[in-house]
Structure 1
Amino acid sequence: MRPPVGAVRAAKAASARTDGRTDGLAAGRTHWAARGAGTRRDSDMVGHTQQPSGRGNPGPAPSPSPGPGPGPGASERVALKKEIGLVSACTIIIGNIIGSGIFISPKGVLEHSGSVGLALFVWILGGGVTALGSLCYAELGVAIPKSGGDYAYVTEIFGGLAGFLLLWSAVLIISASGGPPTHSPFLSVLLTWVNSSSVRWATRIQDIFTGGKLLALSLIIGVGFVQIFQGHFEELTPSNAFDFWMTPSVGHLALAFLQGSFAFSGWNFLNYVTEELVDPRKNLPRAIVISIPLVTFVYTFTNVAYFTAMSPQELLASNAVAVTFGEKLLGYFSWVMPVSVALSTFGGINGYLFTSSRLCFSGAREGHLPSLLAMIHVRHCTPIPALLVCCGATAVIMLVGDTYTLINYVSFINYLCYGVTILGLLVLRWRRPALHRPIKVNLLVPIAYLVFWAFLLVFSFISEPMVCGVGVIIILTGVPVFFLGVFWRSKPKCVHRLTESMTRWGQELCFVVYPQGAPEEEENGPCQPSPLPTRDKPLKTQ
């Protein structure tokens, strides 16, 4: 249950009275310890110390631990900063999507579609369905303005177990959708350092490399139009475009869309950083409305351009479609395509680190991950422990050999989570009809998305029961972890001591503390009681 508002205000007042001589760790401990009913025992979750969770159970705070001394800016509030404007919000969405598979997925979509025309239709349909889902996420994002995206919404609406299972699957496999695997550990380490040092640096890098990717894809599209004007569009004529070399079943179509959806994955990543957006109630929906149509246009016409230079057989035989395209048409300037692939990788990993670290941060704040991950640097105000975890995840992704099997796992679990989240929108409409919603989509939008979602999942199970079964098993393995790590509170004292020692060591190593709440945190927080409580049904809490 959430702590009383009065208790939180009193805690913040006490924290505000702490003078500048108090070191960063002590200030963080004062703030969170004063929340009383809103904290959980350190060892309620394996690897935890005192947890600033709004859903945890009351318990005593651990003994004070030594921490880093005061530094520059110690008198300022230690919290995540709102430094993401509209342009950076758009580049986060575009950069994460384009970095997720445009150089891989054209092959998978075509392979399962059986014809050029049907493959292009899958790309357009993928953009349309993504637009429906993003509109639903825009409503959820402004109604529940919390970082963490799907996880935050599912936890708020369905309770702790459902949220933990979504978080668990994300930690294990969904992070692979953040960008194509790279074989340069140095790149991941470098970008982790940048993201740890400054939010502004990270967003500027995202802006620059997203612009570079769009320029590279614009070059492909421009060359494709030149090819069409010169009459090189044999594969795009109706007779050839729908000349099937195989008859696709409904299951094949479902798999084609799963492959295409991998290239669109990342469209919901801006919802992971809602609390760092400048004016999120305006900029979140604006960024979504700008970015999704733009990416759909770029993807569709990029594939059209590919087919002006390559036959379906050549495209299927290519391991890097954009590079093959450049070698055939750009001549001396063919080096641009490998560079664009590198830009896509660079920007994709940067976007993944920036957004997914906030997912881990949000999970730790709710008490579902080790509390060290809910801490931020006392000067840079960046979630360094969460960033290090995400950097380690990219290293694991590098070890995966079969990329297409990975894409199937990721796409299936992604779509399962998307559907559950959008179903939550309907549940929230029913339970909290009076909740303030700056954006309220027509009910046909989530219903249409869920109908398509159900179709896709059913036929994916029929055509690829092994892949889908493994995806479900991955999610369900989180059930015992939840009951052992989160639900079971009376752990042995040795576990308490171990986790507290590890957290203290992590704090001293990373120079991190719990963030301090903003003065308006409780008054403007998500899902506050409505002026018409008799019409609302309370949300489930864990």
Structure 2
Amino acid sequence: MSRKQYISHELIVMSFGVLTVVNAVDVKWATRVQDVFTVAKLLALVLIIITGFVQLGRGKYEHFLSPFENTNADVGSIALAFYQGLFAYNGWNYLNYVIEELQDPYKNLPRASWISISIVTSVYVLTNIAYFTTVSPAEMLASSAVAVTFAERLYGMFWWIMPIFVALSTFGGVNGILFTTARLFFAGSREGHMPEVLSYVQVHRMTPAPAVIFMGMTSLIYLCSTDMYALINYVAFVNWLAVGLAVGALLYFRYTRPDMKRPIKVGLVWPIIYCAFSVFLVIVPLYASPFETGMGCLIIATGIPIYFIFVKWQKKPVAFLRFMNKVNRGIQKALLVVPEENKTQ
């Protein structure tokens, strides 16, 4: 590992540590951090978009004349390209993980989904148009941070503001993932699919501290790889397989239980299109990129022991239960966490 990679890994570990503490200590702190860094990200994108319009006004549109030149039309490459491109939109489904903390979810969940997806899509498309006024497709592929390359060419001595904005955006993205995905572990534990202690909450702060800390620690495993694009392919395969199956289950229940009460309901055409697209993004990469998809399958397989231990295995030996109780008590004392109160009482 080079010195540069070592320093970057240290910064990543420090960032995860700080954000894990923030999310474990206070929900308000976490949401305020998210608000601040989201605003910083939007400011950077608005600056890029305005600069792009100025460039278009100057006649800088040569990179739009042959946008598909030297394009690889192979179906497998297109599927992997979707993995890379759609990763920028990853997070659209995270609101479902925190639905218990959402006020009036039947009304606000659909509203938040449509508003956020519309804003993000518009801003990202305009941002990429701005990039192409200055950066060629080949240069964009070669750049490790397109926003920084864009700033270096247009902002002169003030180019350094863009790396800061990129860092703030990344910091905010990690905070959002910690905040939402920890709730997924929390809910899974509450249903008996993961260790019981992950469903405990901090007695003073009322935060799912064990789930947040578990999420922060497991995220550091990905530091074992330095290839960001390979990681995206690993995770994207798992993500599209899981979400595709979930949407497929929605279609199944719409067919088998048509009279079930559904406070939130969409037209069938959308889940059908989504399922078809998910099948494409799961099946094609199996042939085009077997190693990455194989790694994705291994990631899924890591959940098999967890399933058999905590769900399938009902008659656990007394020694195992005694050990788990000791672990739970130790974590309870260390973090001051307790089981969540039963809302039906």
Query: When the two structures are superposed, what TM-score results if normalisation uses the length of structure 1?
Result: 0.60
Larger radius of gyration: 1
Query: Is 1:301 equivalent to 2:301 in the alignment?
Result: no
Question: CA separation in 2, counterparts of 1:395 and 1:483?
Answer: 25
Q: Do the aligned partners of residues 499 and 247 (structure 1) sit closer, same or farther apart at CA in structure 2, a change above 3 Å counting?
A: closer
Letter in 2 for 1:191: L
Q: Write the letter of the residue equivalent to 1:242.
A: F
Deviation at 1:246, TM superposition (A): 4.5
Distance (whole Å) between structure 2 residues aligned to residue 480 and residue 203 of structure 1:
34
1:497 aligned to 2:322? yes
In the alignment, does 2:32 pair up with 1:204?
yes
Please give the per-residue CA displacement for 1:480-525, whole angstroms capped at 9, x wherever unaligned. 4422442122233221211110100111111111111335x8xxxx
Aligned residue for 1:184, secondary structure, equals helix
The reply to whether residue 452 of structure 1 matches residue 277 of structure 2 is: yes
* Equivalent in 284, 287, 291 of residue 462 of structure 1: 287
- Does the 8 Å CA contact 2:192/2:310 hold for their aligned counterparts? no
User: What is the one-letter code of the residue matched to 2:229?
Assistant: Y
Greater displacement, 289-298 / 461-470: 461-470
- 1:182 Cα deviation (Å)? 7.9
1:187 aligns with 2:15: yes
Q: Does the CA-based 8 Å contact 2:97-2:180 persist in structure 1?
A: yes
User: What code does the residue aligned with 1:199 have?
Assistant: V
**Residue 334 of structure 1: aligned partner:** 159
1:63-74 equivalences under 5 Å are: none
Tell me the distance in 1 between the aligned counterparts of 2:256 and 2:114. Answer: 27
Shift in CA distance, 439/497, structure 1 to aligned 2, threshold 3 Å: closer
Contact 2:244 2:275 in 1 (8 A): yes
1:318 aligns to 2:143 (yes or no): yes
Q: After superposition, where does 1:474-493 map in structure 2 within 5 Å?
A: 474-493=299-318
Offset at 1:442?
1.1
Query: 1:299 deviation in Å?
Result: 1.3
| Partner Cα distance (2:140, 2:264) in 1 | 42
Q: What is the aligned residue count? A: 338
CA–CA distance in structure 2, aligned partners of residues 444 and 494 of structure 1: 52
**CA–CA distance in 2 between the matches of 1:498 and 1:486?**
17
Residues 183 and 398 of structure 1 are in contact (CA less than 8 Å); yes or no, is this contact kept in structure 2?
no
CA contact (8 A) 1:423 1:450 kept: yes
**Residue 233 of structure 2: aligned partner:** 408
Superposed CA RMSD in Å reads 1.8
Structure 1 distance, partners of 2:210, 2:179, is: 12
Distance in 2, matches of 1:232 and 1:446, equals: 40
Residue 175 (structure 1) aligns with: none
Query: Does the alignment pair 1:241 with 2:90?
Result: no
Task: Tell me which residue corresponds to 1:512.
Answer: 337
- Counterparts in 2 of 1:216-255, with a 5 A limit? 216-237=44-65, 240-243=66-69, 245-255=70-80
Q: Percent identity between the aligned chains?
A: 48
Are 2:111 and 1:291 aligned?
A: no
Distance 1:445 1:367, change over 3 A: same
Query: Kindly tell me: are residues 246 and 207 of structure 1, through their superposed partners in 2, closer, same or farther at Cα, counting changes over 3 Å?
Result: closer
Aligned pair in 2 of structure 1 residues 209, 481: CA closer, same or farther (>3 Å)? closer
1:262 Cα offset (Å): 1.3
Q: CA deviation at 1:450?
A: 1.1
Call closer, same or farther: CA 1:234–1:182 in 2, change over 3 Å.
Answer: farther
Task: Tell me if structure 2 keeps the 8 A contact 1:210–1:347.
Answer: yes
User: CA 1:462–1:181 in 2, change beyond 3 Å: closer, same or farther?
Assistant: farther
| Matched residue SS, 2:238 | helix
Q: Equivalent residue for 2:3?
A: none
Read off the aligned partner of 2:39 and give its amino acid letter.
G
SS at match of 2:206: coil
What whole-Å deviation, never above 9, does each CA across 1:299-337 have from its counterpart, x for those lacking one?
111111111111222222211111111000111221221
1:107-156 CA distance string (max 9 Å, x none):
xxxxxxxxxxxxxxxxxxxxxxxxxxxxxxxxxxxxxxxxxxxxxxxxxx
CA displacement, residues 359-402 of structure 1 (integer Å, 9 cap, x when unaligned): 11011101111111100011211001111111112322233211
Where 1:183 maps in the other structure, the secondary structure is helix
Greater helix fraction, Structure 1 or Structure 2: 2
> What is the CA–CA distance in structure 2 between the aligned matches of 1:373 and 1:484, rounded to whole Å?
15
Tell me which of 204, 209, 212 is aligned to 1:387.
Answer: 212
2:4 paired residue number: none
Amino acid at match of 1:420: L
Uncovered stretches (5+) of structure 2, i.e. residues with no partner: 1-7
Could you tell me how far apart the structure 2 residues matched to 1:333 and 1:207 are? 25
Matched letter for residue 208 of structure 1: V
Cα distance per residue 1:196-223 (max 9 Å; x no partner)? 2221221121111101101101111110
Provide closer, same or farther for how the CA distance between residues 421 and 250 of structure 1 changes in structure 2, counting only shifts above 3 A: same
Deviation of residue 279 (structure 1)?
Answer: 1.0
1:38-437 superposed matches below 5 A: 183-237=11-65, 240-243=66-69, 245-437=70-262
SS of structure 2 residue aligned to 1:241: coil
Q: Is the 8 A contact 2:237 2:281 kept in 1?
A: no
Question: Structure 2 vs 1, CA of residues 505 and 419 (structure 1 numbering), >3 Å: closer, same or farther?
Answer: same
